[in-house]
Structure 1
Amino acid sequence: QCSVTFTFHVIQCITDSDRAADLSFLTDRVPLVLLRLALLWYHTVVLPFFALDGSDTHEGLLEAKAILQRKSVVYPNSSLFMFFKGRVHRLECHINSALACFHDALELASDQREIQHVCLYEIGWCSMIEMNFEDAYRAFERLKNESRWSQCYYAYLTGVCQGASGDLDGASGVFKDVQKLFKRKNNQIEQFAVKRAERLRKISPTRELCILGVIEVLYLWKALQNCSSSKLQIMNQVLQSLDEASCRGLKHLLLGAVHKCHGNMRDAVQSFQLAARDEYGRQINSYVQPYAVYELGCILLAKQETVGKGRSFLLQAKEDFTDYDFENRLHVRIHSALATLKEVVPQ
C-alpha cells in the first residue's frame, strides 16, 4: 500500500493550488494512484469541511465514487481505499455502512499506524453521530494514548463521550488530564478543548452537559447534517432540557442547527436569533454570537426576497466580531457563502 505521509504531501500540493481540479502539473511527478488518493481526500474530507468555492459537494462525491469503483478492483485489500469508501458512506449519511468500512480498513491496516489512527478517528465520529457514546469514547481514548497529533483534543473528546455514556467519574478524571496534555499553546482546537474541559471539571459534569459537548463538536465540525432524524430528535430533547444559564446561548445555537437539519427553518431562525442576542454567556462561548449571525444570513440567502438581508448578516458576522473561537473557520465559510452569492447575483 502507498505511504500515507507521501500521500499527505500530494494533498498539500492540491490544497495549495489555485484550483484543485487543475492537477496536470502533478502528473509527471507522482504516481497516478497517489493523485487518486489525494483527489479522494479533497472530495471526501477537505471540500465537505470547508465548502471551498461555495460549491456543492455532490459532484465531488460522484467523482470519489467513480474512483473507488475503478480502484477497488485493482486494490481490493487497500485500507486507504476502504477508508475513503467509508468517508463517502458517512457523507451520504449511511453511518452503519461507514462504520463497517472503517472497521474493515482498521483491520487491513494492522501494520500501518497512521491509517489506523484516521480510521479510529472516523469510528469515533460516526459513533458520536449515532450517539453510541461508549464506542466513541473508546476510539478516542485509544487515540489519546497512541497518537502524537493532539492528545489534548482526543482527551476532551474522550471525556465528553465518556460522560455522555453515563460514566461521569471517568469523564471527570479525563477532563483533569486535558490541561496536562495541553502542549500546542497557539492551537485553537487545543485551546478550545482546554477551556471546555476546565469548565466541565469545575461545575461537575452531568450527562446532559456532556451530551451538549458532543453536539457542540458535531456542529463545529459540520457533522450534524450526517445525523438521522431520530438522533436529531434526541438531541433536541436533551438541549430543551438544559437550563444552565451560562450555556443558554450555546443551547439556542445548537437548537437552531438541529432545527435547520430537520428543515424546520422557522424554529431555526428563532433559535439563532436568541443565540445572537445572548450576552450573558458571551465570555464563556465567545463564538456563539458570530456563528448565530452567520447561520441567520445563510438561511436568508436561500430566499430571493431576503438575499440582501442575508448578505448583511454575513457581513455583520465577518466585521462586527473578533477574537473568538474558530474565527478563521467561520471567515472561510462566510467567504464561501458570499462567493456563491456573487455567482448567483452578479455584483
Structure 2
Amino acid sequence: INPTLHSDKHSILFINMTLQQSLDECMEALDLFLNNHFNESLERLRPRVNDSMYHALIYATVLEMQAMMTFQHNDITNAGNTMKSAQEVLFTQYWCVLSVVQLHAEVCYAECQLQRAALTFLQDENMVNFIKGGIKVRNSYLIYKELHSLIKSHNCLKGASHLHLEGGISFGIGAFNLTLSLFPPGLLKLLEFAGFSGDKEYGLSLLSASATGMNLRSMLCALLLLCYYTFLTIILGTGEVTEAEELLKPFRLRYPQGAIFLFFAGRTEEIKGNIDEAVALFEDGCKAQQAWKQFHHMCYWELMWCFTYKRDWKMAYFYADLLSRESRWSKAMYVYMKAAYLSMLPEQEGRPFEEDEVLLFRQVSTFKQKIAGKSPPTEKFAIRKARRYKAPCPVRLPVPALEMMYMWNGFSMIRRRPELTKGMLETVQEAERTLQDSPEHEFVVDDLCLILLLKGVCLRNQGPANMLECFSINRKIRFDHYLVPNALVEMGLIYIYQGERDKAIKVLRKAKNSYKDYSMESRTQFRIHAALAKVKAEKAEDEDTHL
C-alpha cells in the first residue's frame, strides 16, 4: 500500500468508505444465506474475495460451515485453502496503518485463525497437526484479548463500522470465555495459567449483546448461543429452554422459512416435550430448502430421537437408515442406532428391508473414524456395546436404544410428558422381566444395573426416586463401569431438586473422584462439573440473600 496514504485524507476517507461498503454487501450476503439462498450468497461474495477482507472471511466461513456438515475431505481441504487465502487478503489490509482498517483486519485474522484451527482438528489425525491447531487457537485468543482491551480504551476510533468491529471482538472473547468455563476446574486452572480465562456469565453477556445487535457476527453469536442453550446445557443436564426461545424470536420473525431457525425452533419444542410440534418443524426445515442436503441431516438426527421418545421404533429406524446412507459424520453411530431400533421390535415382527440387527451390530466397528486424532467417545461406546454380537451365539443388549437415549440425556426431553415417561417405564420393566426369565450369562449383572438406572431416571421424571439399588451390586459389574458414576450423578440431581445441597455435593464429588477410565467419562465429568457449579451458585445466592 502506498505510504502516502498515511497522510492522504482523501485516501483515508476512500478506504473507510470501501470498508463500510464491504460490510454492507456482506450483510446482504448473510441475509441471503439465512433466507436459504446459499448459492446466491456465495455468488454475491465471490467477486471481491481477493480484495475485501470481509468478503474473503464470510465466503470462507460459509464454505467451512458446508465442510463441517458434509464431512467430505475435498470440502474440508477447499475450506481450509479458502480460509488461508482469506488470511493473505487480510495481510494486505493489516499493513495499512490506518487504525480502523487495521483493527478490522486483526479481528478478521483472529477469526480466520480460530476457524482454521477447527478445520485442522476436523481433518488431521496426527499429534503434530493437532498441536499446530492448538497454537492457532492460542494466537487467536491473544489477538482477541488485545483488541478487547484496545476498544475499551479512549484511543479507539469509533466510526460507522465500529458496531461490526465490536461484534467481532465480542464473538471471540465471548466464545472463549463460555467454552473454557465448561471445563473442569483442574483443567481450567491449567488453561488460566497459560493466559486463558473462562467466565461463563461474562461470555454469555458478550455473545447475547452481539447476537441481538445488527452486526456481521450477530448470526455467529446467535448460532453459538442456540447450540449452547439447546444442546450443550441439555446434554449436561442443567439447561432450560427460555433463553433460546427469547433469542429465536427476532430471527424467526425476520426469517420465517430460514432452515437454520426452523431447526432450532424444532429443538426448543423437543426440549419442552412438545414432540409432535417438533416433528412438524423439523419436517418444515427439510422442505424449506434443497440446496444443502446437509441441513436435512441435522433434522433427521432430531427426528430419529423424536420417534424414539414416542417409542415408534420403525420410524426412528427410518431416520437412522437415512443418516447411515447420506451422512458421513458418524456412520458407526448411525448403523448402531439402526441395529438398536430393530432389536427393540418383537422377535416375530418383520424387519424393514429384511435387515438383521445382529449383522448390523457386527458391522459397527468397521465404520469407526477419527476426529482430531481420536475416535469420538460416542462411537467408541457404540463399538464396545456392539462387541457382544461378535460371538457365535450373541447375548442381546436389553434396551440399546434407551441406553443411548440416556447417554444423550434424552429422558429430560419427556419429563414434562407423563404419558411418554410411563411408556418408557413400561419398556424398561418389560426388559427387566425378560432378563429375569433369561438363562444366566456373563452380562446379567451389567444389564440389570442398566435397567435399574433407566428405571430410576423414569421414576425421577415422575417424582423423587431412590436409586440405591444400583449400588448394592456395583462391585459385580464387569463391563459397564460407567453406570455407577452416572447413577451417582442422577442421585445428585435429585438432591438438588429436593434442596438438599450438601448431600448433592457429597454424592457428586464421589462420582467425580472415585471412578476413572470408564466409557464416556469426559461427558460424565462435564455433567458433574455443571451440576456442582449449579448447586454452588444456588448456595452462594442463598447466603447473599440471608446477608
Match status 1:187 vs 2:376? yes
* Residue 308 of structure 1: aligned partner: 502
Q: What amino acid sits opposite 2:425 in the alignment?
A: N
Q: How many matched pairs?
A: 332
Match status 1:219 vs 2:406? yes
SS at match of 1:20: helix
- Worse overlay, 219-228 or 274-283: 274-283
Match status 1:325 vs 2:519? yes
Query: Cα gap change, 1:4/1:165 in structure 2, threshold over 3 Å: closer, same or farther?
Result: farther
Distance 1:221 1:256 in 2: 16
Distance 1:14 1:128 in 2: 35
SS at match of 1:279: helix
Match status 1:155 vs 2:315? no
TM-score, with length taken from structure 1: 0.85
For residue 92 of structure 1, the aligned residue among 272, 279, 288 is 272
**Partners of 1:4 and 1:115 within 8 A in 2:** no
For residue 274 of structure 1, the aligned residue among 469, 493, 509 is 469
Match status 1:231 vs 2:411? no
Distance 1:336 1:196 in 2: 27
For residue 40 of structure 1, the aligned residue among 217, 222, 226 is 226
- Worse overlay, 159-168 or 329-338: 159-168
**Partners of 2:244 and 2:268 within 8 A in 1:** yes
Match status 1:177 vs 2:363? yes
Distance 2:281 2:382 in 1: 29
Pairing of 1:1-347 with structure 2 (within 5 A): 1-2=33-34, 3=62, 5-6=64-65, 15-17=175-177, 18=199, 19-23=203-207, 30-51=216-237, 56-57=239-240, 61-166=241-346, 167=351, 170-184=356-370, 186-200=375-389, 202=391, 204=394, 209=397, 212-227=399-414, 228-241=417-430, 242=432, 243=435, 245-246=444-445, 247-263=447-463, 265=464, 268-269=465-466, 272-279=467-474, 282-304=477-499, 306-346=500-540
SS at match of 1:286: coil
SS at match of 1:292: helix
Query: Cα gap change, 1:20/1:160 in structure 2, threshold over 3 Å: closer, same or farther?
Result: same
**Partners of 2:263 and 2:285 within 8 A in 1:** yes
What's the Cα RMSD here?
2.8
* Residue 112 of structure 2: aligned partner: none
**Partners of 1:99 and 1:123 within 8 A in 2:** yes
SS at match of 1:148: coil
Greater C-alpha Rg: 2
Instruction: State the Cα distance separating 1:151 from its structure 2 match.
Output: 0.6
SS at match of 1:149: coil
Instruction: State the Cα distance separating 1:113 from its structure 2 match.
Output: 2.4
The superposition leaves residues 47-69 of structure 1 with CA deviations (integer Å, 9 ceiling, x where unpaired) of: 22235xx5x52xxx334323433
Instruction: State the Cα distance separating 1:169 from its structure 2 match.
Output: 5.3
Instruction: State the Cα distance separating 1:81 from its structure 2 match.
Output: 0.9
Q: What amino acid sits opposite 2:365 in the alignment?
A: Q
SS at match of 1:111: coil
**Partners of 1:282 and 1:289 within 8 A in 2:** no
**Partners of 2:368 and 2:375 within 8 A in 1:** no
- Worse overlay, 13-22 or 250-259: 13-22
The superposition leaves residues 51-92 of structure 1 with CA deviations (integer Å, 9 ceiling, x where unpaired) of: 5xx5x52xxx33432343322332122111111110111011
Query: Cα gap change, 1:67/1:337 in structure 2, threshold over 3 Å: closer, same or farther?
Result: closer
Query: Cα gap change, 1:262/1:63 in structure 2, threshold over 3 Å: closer, same or farther?
Result: same
The superposition leaves residues 17-64 of structure 1 with CA deviations (integer Å, 9 ceiling, x where unpaired) of: 24233226897984423333333222222222235xx5x52xxx3343
**Partners of 1:276 and 1:288 within 8 A in 2:** no
Distance 1:175 1:276 in 2: 30
SS at match of 1:199: helix
Q: What amino acid sits opposite 2:471 in the alignment?
A: A
Query: Cα gap change, 1:28/1:288 in structure 2, threshold over 3 Å: closer, same or farther?
Result: same
Distance 2:475 2:504 in 1: 25
SS at match of 2:473: coil
Query: Cα gap change, 1:199/1:345 in structure 2, threshold over 3 Å: closer, same or farther?
Result: same
Query: Cα gap change, 1:119/1:293 in structure 2, threshold over 3 Å: closer, same or farther?
Result: same
Query: Cα gap change, 1:302/1:64 in structure 2, threshold over 3 Å: closer, same or farther?
Result: closer
Q: What amino acid sits opposite 1:332 in the alignment?
A: F
Q: What amino acid sits opposite 2:205 in the alignment?
A: A
Distance 2:231 2:205 in 1: 15
SS at match of 1:277: helix
**Partners of 1:137 and 1:161 within 8 A in 2:** yes
Q: What amino acid sits opposite 1:164 in the alignment?
A: M
**Partners of 1:276 and 1:293 within 8 A in 2:** no
Percent identity between the aligned chains?
Answer: 24
Query: Cα gap change, 1:25/1:79 in structure 2, threshold over 3 Å: closer, same or farther?
Result: closer
Instruction: State the Cα distance separating 1:181 from its structure 2 match.
Output: 0.9
**Partners of 1:43 and 1:64 within 8 A in 2:** yes
SS at match of 2:510: helix
**Partners of 2:428 and 2:451 within 8 A in 1:** yes
Query: Cα gap change, 1:310/1:215 in structure 2, threshold over 3 Å: closer, same or farther?
Result: same
Distance 2:511 2:409 in 1: 18
Instruction: State the Cα distance separating 1:5 from its structure 2 match.
Output: 4.2
Query: Cα gap change, 1:82/1:131 in structure 2, threshold over 3 Å: closer, same or farther?
Result: same
Query: Cα gap change, 1:162/1:16 in structure 2, threshold over 3 Å: closer, same or farther?
Result: farther
**Partners of 1:105 and 1:119 within 8 A in 2:** yes
Q: What amino acid sits opposite 1:188 in the alignment?
A: P
Query: Cα gap change, 1:45/1:274 in structure 2, threshold over 3 Å: closer, same or farther?
Result: same
* Residue 441 of structure 2: aligned partner: none
Instruction: State the Cα distance separating 1:98 from its structure 2 match.
Output: 0.2
Distance 1:146 1:254 in 2: 32
